Amino acid sequence: MDVRLKIIKRAVLEIEDGMNVNLGIGMPTLVANEIPSEYNVMLQSENGLLGIGPYPIDDEVDADLINAGKETVTAVSGASYFDSAESFAMIRGGHIDLAILGGMEVAENGDLANWMIPGKMVKGMGGAMDLVNGAKRVVVVMEHVNKHGESKVKKYCTLPLTGQRVVHRLITELAVFDFTNDGMQLIELQDGVTIKEVQEKTEASFIVSPQLLSNQN
């Protein structure tokens, strides 16, 4: 299975029926196509749409209907449109149940860096800084290592922070981690992955869930 699809299929399990969910730019937008059809989930985009549907097929494309990543989308029955001020009032007011965001780096204390790489041209910080502080729960999805084979799950983030201690759960193609008062905890392994492999590819220090350990024995 494709690495990104493996991550997305696990991320979909974070969504519950009845939730208002914000999907970040990039990999998280793929979640929209995987949500069970029987779920009543409203996807929110900070550029002004509540009720995002799956990506459109060719004859459904509407150039005026886009998400925050400038991708064309569809709208479900009952969707609503509004300006950015109303959108961010929803986010800052705590009305988003779950934000699924991409990440460049996540630190062992739950810090997140996902909005820029120094020296690279960026249009702005977007809505991520509001989302990590306004959403009730923040789940980050990203590949475990970068293209150079270096861990993106860090002891300390080296890139500019989006938020401090804001990540509740991290999902990669190797594993799932929670961030608790006791530290970063490995709670799940993806199929075919071992604890040793995760340890070798993770710079951050983490503890292994007792339940996961018992399942390994």
Active site residue 46: yes
137 and 94 Cβ atoms separated by less than 8 Å: no
Distance CA 183, CA 171 (A): 16
Question: At a CB cut-off of 8 Å and minimum separation 6, what does 49 contact?
Answer: 65, 67, 73, 75, 79, 80, 81
Catalytic residue among 46, 105, 108, 188: 46
CB neighbours of residue 130 within 10 Å: 21
41 and 35 Cβ atoms separated by less than 8 Å: yes
Q: What letters, b where the CB count within 10 A reaches 16 and e where it falls short, cover 38-74?
A: eeebbbbbbbbbbbbbebeeeeeeeeebbbbeeeebb
Q: Is 216 helix (H, G, I), strand (E, B) or coil?
A: helix
- Active-site positions read 46
